[in-house]
Amino acid sequence: MRAFVVDRYKEPLREAEVPEPVVGEHDVLVQVQAAGLNVLDEKIRSGAFKSFLRYRLPQVMGNDVAGTVIGVGSGVRGFTLGDQVYARPDKDRIGTFAERIAVAEADLALKPATISVEEAGSLPLVALTAWQALVEKGHVRPGQRVLIHAGAGGVGTIAIQLAKHLGATVATTVSARDADFARELGADVVIDYRGQDFEQLLDGYDLVLDSLGGKNLEKSLRVLRPGGKAIGIAEPPDPAFAREAGLNPVLRLAIAVLSRKIRRQAKKLGVTYEFLFMRASGDQLRQISALVDRGVLRPVVGRVFDFDQTAQAVQSLGKGGIRGKAVITRA
């Protein structure tokens, strides 16, 4: 079948003929109709995460899928042929830039009924990231104040809406041209990251969701109240993540060193820092589907590419400028 693979880190994707997916007892075979593009795709291609995401190259790329069930394993009970589904496959079973993919039943959900397949394909990874940051790690409650960086991006557009649904007052950083768009999503405080310094404007926040890392993350610690929390999805990974990922002692030590500076800064300020590398979850996607169908969350698709343009689409990730998500579609 046709797919887009990476042969060596830092090289562009190329189209290839690859074997058909192996469908296990508890797997669902999905005909891919849409696949979201994520910053994670570029980080994998560039080798930025190769220390803890170990793939045997060549690797079929892609971390989001929406499509139709065309086969089920003998142990599958929750899905039947013809179901419209969506998923973020497990990190060890990526490969949605292909004609078909086998996904574990536990990682799959019926797609929301009220949105298109392209919109469904844009959602899984970013929606699960927002859910795990705000609900699982952040425990966001009504009346709290939440800062979400890059509010016009893939994670940011969903996180703003989810934080508002949870009852928070939401601040976000965007470019000036996206200010009104961020307010439409529900942001209460909108900061132009080019012309304004969020550290000078915000104080006493309960939670920051940081997708940029570096100096932006360091500044984010300083807008938190004592006891507040910063959750990073870009860098650096922390020891808790290394333990959960089952990394070897050498990698655990390296990750502890990488995150030592930011963890020390957080401790000095009386706040905490946690790294989030989202995980696949069909159960959480079902809850997200319910919110979408109720009109609480709406996906934002900024650009659609044809399947034949997959390699160019991944290259475009580094240029930015797209509201929400870019999606690849197959007829």
Ranges in the chain, pLDDT < 70: none
Q: Is 111 left (phi over 0), alpha (psi -120 to 50) or beta?
A: beta
Fold category of 2-123+299-329 in CATH: Quinone Oxidoreductase; Chain A, domain 1 (3.90.180)
Start-to-end C-alpha separation, the chain: 15
Amino acid symbol at 325: K
**pLDDT value of position 318:** 76
Is residue 269 within 8 Å of 221, Cβ to Cβ?
A: yes
Q: Look up residue 20 and give its DSSP letter.
A: P
In 27-168, where do the E strands start and end? Answer: 27-36, 59-60, 65-72, 84-87, 100-104, 108-110, 145-148
Q: Distance (Å, rounded) from C-alpha 122 to C-alpha 33? A: 11
**pLDDT value of position 321:** 81
Q: Look up residue 174 and give its DSSP letter.
A: E
Is residue 48 within 8 Å of 213, Cβ to Cβ?
A: no
**Tokens (6 digits) for 54:** 């170990």
Q: Is the peptide bond before 236 cis (omega within 30 degrees of 0)?
A: yes
Helix 124-131 / helix 154-165 crossing angle, nearest 10 deg: 40
Strand 189-192: give its sheet, edge to edge.
189-192, 169-174, 145-148, 205-210, 224-232, 272-275
**pLDDT per residue over 286-318, tens digit each?**
999 999 999 999 999 999 999 999 999 998 887
Helix (H) or strand (E) holding 208: strand 205-210
Is residue 45 within 8 Å of 79, Cβ to Cβ?
A: no
Please count the other Cβ atoms lying within 10 Å of the Cβ belonging to residue 326: 20
**pLDDT value of position 54:** 83
Tell which CATH architecture fits domain 126-275: 3-Layer(aba) Sandwich (3.40)
Give the three-state DSSP class for 303. strand
Is residue 171 within 8 Å of 192, Cβ to Cβ?
A: no
- Which is nearest to 42 in space by CA: 300, 253, 322, 238? 322
Q: Distance (Å, rounded) from C-alpha 33 to C-alpha 62? A: 13
**pLDDT value of position 320:** 76
The ranges assigned to domains in the chain are 2-123+299-329, 126-275
Q: Distance (Å, rounded) from C-alpha 194 to C-alpha 35? A: 31
**pLDDT value of position 331:** 74
